[in-house]
Each structure stands twice: as structure tokens, then as C-alpha cells.
Amino acid sequence: MKFSINKNLLAQAASIVQRAASTKDTIPALSGMLLTAEKDRLTLQATDLDIGIKRTIFPADVASEGSALVNAKYFSDLIRYLSEEEVTIALDETNNKLNVFNGLSSSYLNLYNPDDFPEMPLDKVSHISTIPQTILKNSIRKTIIAAAVSHFKPVFTGILFDFSGDSLTMVASDTHRLAVIKNEQVKSENQPGQYIVPVRMLSDIARILEDSDSEINIGLADNHIVFYTTEQDLSCSSRLIEGQYPNYIQVIPKNFVNTFLVNSALLTRALERTSIMPHDQNMIQYVKMNFEPEKLVISAFSEKMGEMTEIIKEVEAQTEQAVEVNFNTRYLLDAVKLLNQENKNIQISLSGPLGPAVIKNPEDENYTYVLVPLRTG
């Protein structure tokens, strides 16, 4: 195998594919990146058996076809720091090395046995739907904030993909908060279904997807979900999380004590300031929100450091009912920061001091963020 290729294209592709390689030392081949040169293109792929990424670059000047399995991290780092525009890579089968030439510099990396690289479930994909990349990227960004990093119920460490007709609803929750977004710009072919996709995979997908209307396909292969482009230059697979996702619809409250419109920029800055107040040991950092018809009073207290109070007067209320409620500062700020990018105002509907609150962009009915207040002493 020998080929020459643009260094920047190779570095970009390698950095993407590297995300799927294992960082553990148990099975060396799983920490590798498989390079395959054929015709006028180069394919890179990596998998740790749970997720896999495959990227194809063309054109490539392929002098001789072949494949090699090299450590993903070291290969990606090496290519990233090369200085010349073109890189030439050649396989030394006799010494089991991969030679890398760039201008006057040369390097080599030791190789793994390519026969040990597992097959990725990309050849027999059953197509489910097609969605614009920018829509999927935005949906991941707005739901992933509510997913659990770890949980004794694995379903909460993933995002639910709920396909129904020509719509896709994505849901995430850590049981303290819930994010739901519905998209109707989806072309679906198969029967409705629900699939729970690990957060780790979707975090990587969100970094790869483009901010454009170009489409990404979603399909199934055995117990994996696969995201792939029509041109087949990008394929990402992930093992699905097994289990039944709870009924998220019944979690969203329908009746409220009062609904408030609050200036989103002022609320964001106020919460950012109160978030610097350190929380006391064994306590969750929280803010006290006193909603009144004509103002919102936000306060944070630390026995160690002191107290901070913020007052926002750009508030509109549906009724005269005042409500005092305590929220986890970070959980509230996560949603407010997102919605601040979309609208001048944020809509906060309260069902009482201990009942779930619904936070929305008042001009967007497709996204809902539910936050459960804190009980404090």
C-alpha cells in the first residue's frame, strides 16, 4: 500500500475517526485505525465494538492498494502536526511498519494485525429515515444537556429516538429534568419505532455533522443504529441501549399556577453571576427564584461566602399569582443559555413551588425543557 493525499483532509478525517477507537489496552486492535487505500480514495475506520466511525476521503493518489492497522491516537496526532501540504504514506510489510513522509521529514509507526480488526455493522443497514444535518445537530445539542452521565438505569444515559410517521421526537432525561424536541422535517420509510442511542455517540455525531441542509440517513443494523451519508463518505454506528424508555409525555405538566415571560439575556447574565457563589459541602448549588407579576428576584446563598441577589424587572406574568421556587443552578442555566440564542424572552410556566416547571421559547412549540424544583431546608 502506498498513497499520497492532502494533509489537511487526512488530519480532519483522522481526528473524527479516532473518537471511536478504544482508549483501553485490553485488545490492541480496538485502539487502532484501519487505513484502506483503493482506486482513488482512502477509507479510515475505527471501533471499540460499542461505537464505530468510518470516513472516506477522495481524491487520493493511490500508487498501490492495500490496508494497514495503526494506533489511532498516535497516527491522528502525527498527521495533525505535519507541516507540508501533501503527505505520502507507504506500508513496509517486511518490517510491519507504516512510513509517513512529509516534505523533508519522515516517520514510521508500528502496526497491528489488520485481521484482528472487527467488522463494523455497516454493510446490511435497514434504512429508517433521512433528516437534514443541521436539524439533527441542533436536536442533539438541545436534548443532550438533560441526559445522565451515569445512572443505575442505562436508558437515562441515552437519548430516545421516537419515530412516528414523518416526525422524529428526541427525548433525554436524568429524572431531575427532561428535554423534548419534535422534528417534522424527516423522511421516514419504515414502521414507527423507539431506539435509545448512547450520549457518547451522539456527542461525537454532533461534532461531525455540518450546519447545512445536506441530509444524513438513519438506519438499523442488528442491534446498532447507523448514521450515514448518501455518498457513503461518512458512516457512524452505535450499539443501542436496551430497555424500555419511560412515558415522557405524562411527565410534562399541563396545568400551571402562573406563566412568566422573562428577558432571556438578563436572566442568563444573572444566573451566570449567581453561579459563581460556591455551594456548601454536601449541598447542590441552587438559586431561589421569587417570581412576582412585575419582577423576578433571584438569590443565591453560601454559608461559607455570603449571599447574592439579582432583580430583573423585564418580566410579564399571565396572572397576579406570585411563586417562589428553588432550582438547581446549573440545570436551569443550561436551558436558559440555549434559549437565549433564539429569542428575546424565555417562557417559564410554574406548577407550584415543588411542581415541575416548563421552560420554552414562546415562539417554538417543538422544544420543551422540564425542570423539577429542589426541596431545600
CATH code of 236's domain? 3.10.150.10
Q: C-alpha cell of 1? A: 500500500
Same domain, 344 and 243: no
Do 166 and 85 lie in one domain? The reply is no
Query: In the listed set 64, 81, 116, which residue is the last one of a domain according to the structure?
Result: 116
Overall domain count for the chain: 3
- 131 in Cβ contact with 216 (< 8 Å): yes
Determine, yes or no, domain membership for 363.
yes
Instruction: Report, as an integer, the average pLDDT of 331-350.
Output: 97
In a domain, 162, yes or no: yes
Contact 252, 368 (CB under 8 A): yes
* Residue 164 buriedness (CB in 10 A; 0-12 / 13-18 / 19+): middle
Same domain? 265 vs 330? yes
pLDDT at 101: 97
On whether both 238 and 270 belong to a single domain, the answer is no
CA distances from 296 to 36, 73, 317, 353, 369 (A): 60, 50, 10, 15, 20
Instruction: Specify whether 202 is located in the same domain as 277.
Output: no
- Closest to 143 in 3D by CA, of 163, 161, 159, 162: 159
| Whether residues 323 and 289 fall in one domain | yes
Domain range spanning residue 106?
A: 2-116
Read off the pLDDT of residues 83-117 as tens digits, 9 standing for 90 and up.
999 999 999 999 999 999 999 999 999 999 999 99
CB 256 within 8 A of CB 349: yes
How does residue 122 score in pLDDT terms, banded at 50, 70 and 90?
confident
Query: Which of 116, 143, 159 is at the close of a domain?
Result: 116
85: in domain = yes
**Residue 231 burial (CB < 10 Å; 0-12/13-18/19+)?**
exposed
121, part of any domain: no
Classify residue 84: in a domain, yes or no: yes
Q: Same structural domain for residues 193 and 156?
A: yes
Query: 8: helix, coil or strand?
Result: helix
CA distance 293 to 309: 18
Q: Quickly state the pLDDT bin for 191 (edges 50, 70, 90).
A: low
Query: Quick one: cell of 149?
Result: 452521565
> Based on the domain organization, do 226 and 277 belong to the same domain?
no
Residue 11 maps to a domain: yes
Confidence of residue 26 (pLDDT cuts 50, 70, 90): confident
* DSSP summary character for residue 1: -
Query: Do 200 and 87 lie in a common domain?
Result: no
Asked if 279 and 313 touch (Cβ cutoff 8 Å), the reply is no
Does any domain span residue 376? no
In the predicted model, what is the mean pLDDT of residues 178-196? Answer: 86
Domain shared by 94 and 24, yes or no: yes
Q: Which pLDDT does position 124 carry in this prediction?
A: 81
How far is 211 from 27, CA to CA, in rounded Å? 36
Within this chain, do residues 132 and 245 fall inside the same structural domain, yes or no?
yes
DSSP state of 30: G
Q: Which of 17-21, 177-181, 207-211, 264-268 has the lowest mean pLDDT?
A: 207-211
DSSP track, 330-368:
HHHHHHHHHHHTT-SEEEEEE--SSS-EEEE-TT-SSEE
Q: How confident is the model at residue 185 (pLDDT cuts 50, 70, 90)?
A: confident
Q: What percent of the chain has pLDDT over 70?
A: 99
Reply yes or no on whether the pLDDT at 188 is more than 80: no
pLDDT tens-digit series, residues 249-282 = 999 999 999 999 999 999 999 999 999 888 777 7
Residue 50: count other Cβ atoms within 10 Å of its Cβ. 15
- What pLDDT, on a 0 to 100 scale, did the predictor assign at position 8? 96
| pLDDT band (50, 70, 90) for residue 322 | very high
Q: Is residue 36 part of a domain?
A: yes
**How far lies 132's CA from each of 31, 218, 258, in Å?**
31, 11, 37
Do 288 and 192 lie in a common domain? no
Domain boundary among 249, 282, 309: 249
Residue 294, classed as helix, strand or coil, is: coil
pLDDT value at 242 more than 90: yes
Average pLDDT for the chain: 93
Higher pLDDT, 361 or 125: 361
Of residues 302 and 56, more confidence is placed in 56
